[in-house]
Amino acid sequence: MRGVMLTITLMLVGCATTALAGQPEYQKALADAKAAQKKAASVDGEWRDVGKLIKQAEAAAAKKEYDTALKLADEAKAQGELGYAQAMSQKNAGFPSYVK
Amino acid sequence: MNLIQRIAAGLAIAAVSTGLLASPEDDLKAFQGFFHKRFPDVSNAELGNGVYAIDPVGRANWEAIEEFPPYEPMIDQGHEMWDKPFANGKHYKDCLPDGPALGKEFPHWDKKSGRVVTLPLALNECREVNGEKPLPYNKGKLASLLAYLAFESRGQLIDVKIPKDDPRALEAYEKGKHFYFARRGQLNFSCATCHMQSTGMRIRSEILSPALGQATHWPVYRSKWGELGTLHRRFGGCNKNVRAKAFPAQSEEYRDLEYFLTYMSNGLPLNGPAARK
């Protein structure tokens, strides 16, 4: 009997650990994504879908789907960083050579 | 305005004043000259008809639509709004005494408030001064009021000024210019990518309209919208199309963009409201 109880306890702990696996990584990725979004917005470089990706990541995390949430947060972070880099690359934009 | 914009605008003003950078007058000549070379048989006035100046099939369709203009009921609604007094008994005309034919007066630089003032902004500020709630900027009643004012302004020539006695006006113009030519969004397009570099070419089934003349005919009844919409609604739509985050209608970014884009159409006749696909 004691053996059975121990087995069940170990199984439950295992399931919980599996469900929460990825949560710390997701939380860091989400914080990074929000920081990247803010940085891109500070130079008017935010892309259209960054906010949507962050919301989708949060919705997935609420359902404890951390693998999905992590992927979405990573994509949001990447788009935030690219938007910032793009805006910086365009800071001297003006009349192109084909106009003059 | 963020730090990068401030530095860029400051440098631009210094460069213009020292002759190192093109002045707005030089820009206007280059901008309009580009389209005159690209479409040598199309007049400035025709360019105010957008893509229908360069697309004969689309034009035939558009001319048929204009026989029974879909924006006509909105002009009537706007007329009623213009004439109807606010709750305090005052009218829009008390704020804008030169109305209703106000098209050629906007956008303009307002030295007192240090910003570009557009016609929709002036109308809503008039409402607020008189105790009325501002109207949404993208569509609806304000668009109808703009349709009436645009109709009354038909034939006026665009004459946007960049006053030389206030460097902030040039700064706003330069910011609008920067917005126009800066690539943005996941697709990495600028406004000019479609409407200068690729104008006359197809994007999927649509021919890209020329930038010259794009400020002449607002508000517009777009078949895609199934209703009337404003210029800033279209700015937002274009930004979303290239997968950039759109700015709010009447934000500083879009008012400065309107200032630049309308200045580039100086000399063209106003011909709003209009119908588009």
SS3 B254: helix
C-beta of residue A49 within 8 angstroms of C-beta of residue B240 = no
The architecture that CATH gives domain B72-153 is Orthogonal Bundle (1.10)
Of B7, B5, B24, B8, nearest to B163 by C-alpha is: B24
Burial (CB count within 10 angstroms: exposed 0-12, middle 13-18, buried 19+), residue A76: buried
Nearest-CB residue to A48 (from B27, B243, B253): B243
Burial (CB count within 10 angstroms: exposed 0-12, middle 13-18, buried 19+), residue B110: middle
Nearest-CB residue to A94 (from B178, B184, B245): B178
Does B238 qualify as catalytic in the annotation?
yes
pLDDT at B21: 75
- Average pLDDT on A23-52 reads 97
Would you give per-residue pLDDT tens digits along chain B (277 residues)?
565 556 555 655 666 555 557 899 999 999 999 999 999 999 999 999 999 999 999 999 999 999 999 999 999 999 999 999 999 999 999 999 999 999 999 999 999 999 999 999 999 999 999 999 999 999 999 999 999 999 999 999 999 999 999 999 999 999 999 999 999 999 999 999 999 999 999 998 899 999 999 999 999 999 999 999 999 999 999 999 999 999 999 999 999 999 999 999 999 999 999 999 9
Domain at B3-10+25-69+167-276: CATH code: 1.10.760.10
Predicted complex ipTM: 0.88
pLDDT at A15: 46
Lowest-confidence region among A7-16, A63-72, A74-83, B148-157? A7-16
Task: Tell me if the pTM is above 0.95.
Answer: no
Report CB contact under 8 Å: B4, A94: no
Give chain B's end-to-end CA distance (angstroms, integer).
Answer: 35
Amino acid found at B260? F
Residue with more model confidence, A20 or B98: B98
A residues 66..95 contacting B (CB < 8 A)? 79, 82, 86-95
The answer to whether domain B3-10+25-69+167-276 and domain B72-153 are alike in fold is yes
